[in-house]
């Protein structure tokens, strides 16, 4: 007891030393780094933002004022925006419409230097030439503003006229980078004359710019800069810039990193001291523990582990760890033996399940066509279990030369119990059917037989039909199963037939079932299925549903039964994609062809397909 208390005291002192050293190092370096970086970053970003936006604003204003007739041009663009033929973003290259306009205007005014036309000279031109000159200068100015925007890498550069309330902006000029799209949609470069309604922040920024010549509004990593340019017909004109601060922040961060270097030196020194202590107190003993663990991985000798761990003399958690590793080695020896036994048992169970899958598949009709000598009908079915074995089953059998029994059933539950119950139910149902009687009588007898010895209280839903081959008439009864789907006319749509359900088989003794009639005509089909088809679920927990199932069935209403099932299964797979199959998928399609005719030669070849795979 005394030794345990002593070890506990040492354990507390070790934790305290490590915690105190790291807390001091983190606090000192964190405080210094925070203060230095915060001060430098705020100062640098504010100063560089103010200087840069002011310089760019001045450069844009100089580009506009470079033309002596700039005031009259601004007025003309504002008042004649809808009439101007503007050529945007073409630069100063040859072969443009603007070059043609320049030659035309120079021919009319040979002594006029276009770039330096004054207000008076422009006013002296006729209206057609004034429009021509305004279009030329607009294209030149847009090209210059595009160069400025590209050179400084900011988001938007524009010149606008505000209304009396400062709530709307009339775009005079708007710069664009190469390849940018001009239009009136959000984030597109607006053309001349486009009017937008702005928010409260921009309204206040323009008002402040009018009062103070320019104004910089900070909005996180973005800044909006407005400079007052003048007035047009009493409305203020502003140069606007929207600038991304990430570049300035990167520059400020570079300067902050140099200052942070000094703080990092303190952290490195403290870390070295802590690491030295951790190495002596923690890492060396842990390496011994690790060495013995690797030794056990190689030879699985727990006795050697016990001897090797005696070298670890730490009186703290590491000492406890060495003891735990020793005990774990002995426990693992025992556990490995148990695992080998469990693995062998699991392999045996897996083998038996595989055999059960094959047995269950062989119990279902799986040779198609099943009745090569009968051309009055064609039938195809498939069953895909969700697990190794399933609870769904289908069946069809000739009761006599003119009557075909058809069964579609779904046992409650999944896995081996459902599969065993399915086999018993199938045998009982077929036996009762072969004794004769109507579908309702067959289901009643089957229910009584199953209820008489159903200790696990399982049940099965069943749709049973008896086709009179000569007439196409089906007598059917439904014990809690899904609605059948019938095609009323050849080539017509397949539709749900909402029959009246009886209670499930095995649910309650003494249950009586009602039957009804369906009439198939030559070329029409009957489709049966279990709930695994409409309730197939995708990754978003949405079910496939009856509507999608009917759409897949009606994709090719004239197709053979085999192809009908393939269409449905393909639609289910495309819907669920990679989602895990939740329930068994079982389907059956019967096509009634009417009076017996000469059988096609190729049909004499019996095609065997595995009915438990996708149709």
The answer to whether 162 and 238 have CB atoms below 8 angstroms apart is yes
Q: How confident is the model at residue 128 (pLDDT cuts 50, 70, 90)?
A: very high
Q: Name the burial class of residue 259, with classes exposed (0-12), middle (13-18) and buried (19+) by CB atoms within 10 angstroms of its CB.
A: middle
Q: Which of 190-199, 241-250, 453-462, 563-572 shows the lowest per-residue confidence on average (mean pLDDT)?
A: 241-250
Q: pTM, whole model, 2 decimals? A: 0.47
Mean pLDDT of 437-460: 92
Q: What angle do CA 92, 98, 101 make, to 5 degrees?
A: 135
Q: How high is the pLDDT of residue 52?
A: 80
Which residues pair with residue 475 across a beta bridge? Answer: 466, 517
- The tokens describing 532, both together, are 């695994």
- How close are the terminal C-alpha atoms of the chain, in Å? 74
Q: How confident is the model at residue 57 (pLDDT cuts 50, 70, 90)?
A: confident
- The tokens describing 227, both together, are 């400079």
pLDDT at 314 exceeding the cut of 70: no
Number of neighbouring beta carbons within 10 Å of residue 547: 9
Mean pLDDT of 186-205: 90
Number of neighbouring beta carbons within 10 Å of residue 532: 25
Q: How confident is the model at residue 31 (pLDDT cuts 50, 70, 90)?
A: confident
Closest C-alpha among 454, 450, 456, 455 to residue 511: 450
pLDDT digits (tens, 9 = 90+) for 419-436: 888 888 999 999 999 888
CA 102 to CA 112: how far, in whole Å? 11
Going from the C-alpha of 50 to that of each of 38, 188, 216, 224, the distances in angstroms are 18, 27, 7, 11
| CB-based burial, 10-33: b 16+ in 10 Å, e otherwise | ebeebeeeeeebeeebeeebeebb
CA 14 to CA 36: how far, in whole Å? 33
Residue 19 phi/psi, 5-degree rounding, is -65, -45
pLDDT at 349 exceeding the cut of 90: no
The answer to whether 143 and 98 have CB atoms below 8 angstroms apart is no
The rounded percent of the chain whose pLDDT value lies above 90 is 45
Which residues pair with residue 440 across a beta bridge? Answer: none
Q: How high is the pLDDT of residue 26?
A: 66
Number of neighbouring beta carbons within 10 Å of residue 97: 14
Q: How confident is the model at residue 152 (pLDDT cuts 50, 70, 90)?
A: confident
pLDDT at 219 exceeding the cut of 80: no
Residues 6+ positions from 156 with CB-CB distance below 8 Å: 174, 175, 240, 241, 242
Q: How high is the pLDDT of residue 299?
A: 73
20 or 586: which leads in pLDDT: 586
Mean pLDDT of 231-238: 93
Three-class SS of residue 2? helix
Residues 6+ positions from 96 with CB-CB distance below 8 Å: 87, 90, 139
Instruction: Say which DSSP state 181 is in.
Output: P
pLDDT digits (tens, 9 = 90+) for 19-29: 676 667 667 77
313 or 222: which leads in pLDDT: 222
CA 184 to CA 371: how far, in whole Å? 71
Residues 6+ positions from 110 with CB-CB distance below 8 Å: none
The total number of residues written for the chain in this structure: 615
Sorted by where each begins, the domain ranges of the chain are: 1-64+273-363, 66-244, 367-604
Q: What angle do CA 460, 465, 470 make, to 5 degrees?
A: 165
Number of neighbouring beta carbons within 10 Å of residue 287: 12
200 or 276: which leads in pLDDT: 200
CA 517 to CA 215: how far, in whole Å? 86
Q: How high is the pLDDT of residue 477?
A: 97
Three-class SS of residue 524? strand
Closest C-alpha among 276, 77, 280, 317 to residue 174: 77
The answer to whether 423 and 363 have CB atoms below 8 angstroms apart is yes
The answer to whether 77 and 192 have CB atoms below 8 angstroms apart is yes
pLDDT at 124 exceeding the cut of 50: yes
Q: How high is the pLDDT of residue 519?
A: 96
Q: Maximum distance among all alpha carbons in the chain? A: 117
Going from the C-alpha of 505 to that of each of 305, 484, 596, the distances in angstroms are 63, 18, 35
Q: Which of 31-40, 84-93, 118-127, 420-429 shows the lowest per-residue confidence on average (mean pLDDT)?
A: 31-40
The answer to whether 552 and 571 have CB atoms below 8 angstroms apart is yes
Residues 6+ positions from 80 with CB-CB distance below 8 Å: 131, 134
CA 411 to CA 419: how far, in whole Å? 8
Question: Is the CATH number of domain 367-604 3.40.630.30?
Answer: no
Q: How high is the pLDDT of residue 334?
A: 72
pLDDT at 14 exceeding the cut of 50: no
Q: How confident is the model at residue 313 (pLDDT cuts 50, 70, 90)?
A: low
219 or 568: which leads in pLDDT: 568
Q: How high is the pLDDT of residue 284?
A: 66
Q: How high is the pLDDT of residue 36?
A: 67
CA 15 to CA 10: how far, in whole Å? 9
Q: Which of 179-193, 330-344, 498-512 shows the lowest per-residue confidence on average (mean pLDDT)?
A: 330-344
């Amino acid at each position: 007891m005394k030794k345990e208390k002593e070890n506990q005291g040492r354990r507390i002192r070790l934790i305290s030393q490590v915690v105190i050293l790291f807390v001091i190092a983190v606090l000192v370096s964190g405080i210094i780094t925070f203060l230095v970086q915060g001060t430098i970053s705020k100062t640098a970003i504010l100063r560089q933002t103010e200087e840069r936006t002011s310089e760019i604003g001045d450069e844009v204003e100089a580009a506009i004022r470079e033309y002596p007739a700039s005031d009259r041009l601004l007025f003309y663009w504002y008042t004649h925006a809808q009439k101007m033929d503007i050529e945007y973003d073409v630069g100063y290259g040859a072969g443009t419409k603007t070059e043609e306009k320049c030659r035309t205007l120079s021919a009319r005014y040979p002594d006029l230097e276009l770039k330096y036309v004054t207000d008076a000279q422009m006013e002296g031109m006729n209206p057609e030439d004034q429009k021509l000159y305004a279009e030329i200068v607009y294209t030149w100015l847009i090209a210059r503003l595009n160069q400025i925007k590209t050179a400084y890498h900011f988001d938007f550069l524009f010149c606008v006229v505000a209304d009396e309330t400062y709530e709307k902006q009339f775009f005079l000029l708007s710069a664009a980078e190469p390849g940018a799209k001009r239009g009136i949609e959000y984030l597109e470069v607006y053309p001349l004359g486009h009017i937008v309604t702005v928010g409260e922040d921009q309204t206040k920024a323009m008002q402040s710019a009018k009062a103070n010549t320019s104004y910089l509004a900070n909005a996180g990593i973005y800044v909006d800069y407005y400079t007052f340019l003048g007035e047009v017909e009493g409305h203020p004109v502003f140069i606007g810039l929207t600038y991304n601060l990430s570049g300035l922040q990167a520059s400020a961060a570079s300067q902050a990193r140099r200052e942070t270097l000094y703080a990092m030196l303190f952290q490195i020194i403290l870390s070295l001291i802590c690491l030295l202590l951790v190495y002596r107190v923690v890492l060396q003993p842990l390496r011994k523990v690790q060495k013995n663990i690797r030794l056990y991985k190689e030879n699985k000798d727990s006795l050697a582990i016990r001897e090797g761990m005696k070298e670890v003399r730490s009186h703290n958690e590491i000492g406890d760890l060495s003891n735990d590793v020793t005990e774990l080695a002995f426990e693992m020896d025992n556990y490995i033996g148990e695992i080998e036994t469990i693995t062998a048992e699991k392999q045996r169970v897996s083998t038996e399940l595989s055999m059960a899958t094959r047995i269950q598949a062989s119990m279902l009709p799986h040779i198609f066509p099943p009745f090569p000598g009968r051309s009055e009908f064609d039938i195809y079915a498939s069953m895909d279990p969700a697990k190794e074995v399933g609870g769904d089953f289908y069946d069809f059998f000739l009761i006599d030369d003119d009557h075909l029994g058809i069964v579609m059933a779904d046992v409650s539950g999944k896995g081996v119990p459902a599969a065993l119950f399915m086999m018993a139910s199938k045998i009982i149902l077929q036996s009762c059917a072969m004794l004769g009687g109507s579908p309702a009588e067959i289901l009643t007898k089957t229910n009584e037989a199953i209820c008489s010895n159903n200790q696990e209280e399982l049940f099965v839903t069943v749709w049973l039909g008896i086709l009179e081959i000569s007439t196409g008439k089906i007598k059917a009864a439904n014990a809690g199963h899904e609605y059948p789907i019938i095609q009323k006319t050849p080539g017509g749509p397949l539709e749900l037939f909402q029959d009246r359900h009886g209670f499930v088989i095995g649910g309650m003794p003494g249950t009586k079932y009602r039957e009804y009639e369906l009439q198939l005509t030559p070329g029409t089909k009957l489709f049966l299925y279990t709930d695994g088809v409409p309730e197939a679920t995708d990754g978003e927990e949405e079910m496939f549903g009856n509507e999608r199932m009917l759409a897949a069935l009606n994709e090719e209403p004239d197709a053979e039964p085999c192809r009908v099932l393939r269409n449905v299964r393909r639609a289910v797979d495309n819907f669920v994609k990679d989602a895990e199959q939740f329930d068994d998928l079982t389907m059956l399609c019967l096509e009634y062809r009417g009076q017996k005719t000469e059988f096609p030669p190729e049909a004499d070849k019996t095609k065997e397909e595995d009915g438990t795979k996708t149709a």
